[in-house]
Structure 1
Amino acid sequence: MTLGDDRGSVTAEFAVAFPAVLVIVALLLGGIQIATLQVRAQDAAADAARGLARGDAQEVIETRLARQVSGAALSTWLDGDLRCVRVEVAPIGAAAVLGLRAAASACALRDVG
């Protein structure tokens, strides 16, 4: 065996390993994006529930939500004296490939005074 027999093996190994590394990095970045989006959705849901419980108009809440988390969908319901909301948002970019959605719910006591 001579030294010439191993020529190109590093290039071949790199060509095989590099796409796998790229996939792992993309999944890690997507996971971080989903986690960040989940926190933003939870904050927006809590804010929307408080606003609706105070008696703010639905349009005001939706405008505020659009500023906090673009592309989010809002659903509301009453549960006794509680005003509850659910915020759902799909990620964009690398996290969209994962097919996950961020969703958060929050409730606040209605102002009955």
Structure 2
Amino acid sequence: MGTDRPTDAVEGAPALAEAAREHRIDTLLIRPDGADLAREAWVGGEPDQVAVRRSDAQTLGENEPVPVRADDALLRAAAVTAADVLIVPPSDGDGPEDLQTGGRGALLRWTYEPTAV
């Protein structure tokens, strides 16, 4: 998904971590055969302290972040914000690839408008 226009959905580890931190995940999408399903994320004591890198978690105010599976961190964040979770059937190879960025994505509660750099 492009980052140059407003969007109602995100995919990829950095965008999902940001959406979790901002409580914007309305529906978390997980495909069980996704390539990045067990990718590492860093979390703090609060469910919305989710980061892709350890240093990012420290900037969120967590002095001792812990490495966990990213899907576990996102499920935790989804649960405490009353987001839905949808398990997307594994790809059968015949159709277009859904959730191409590793098997995780999210529909957002409100449109994300990227800031100009």
Shorter-chain TM-score range: under 0.3
More strand by share: 2
Structure with the higher helix share, 1 or 2:
1
Of structures 1 and 2, the one scoring higher in RCO (CA 8 A, sep 6+) is 2
Rg (Cα) greater in structure = 1
> TM-score, with normalisation over the residues of structure 1?
0.25
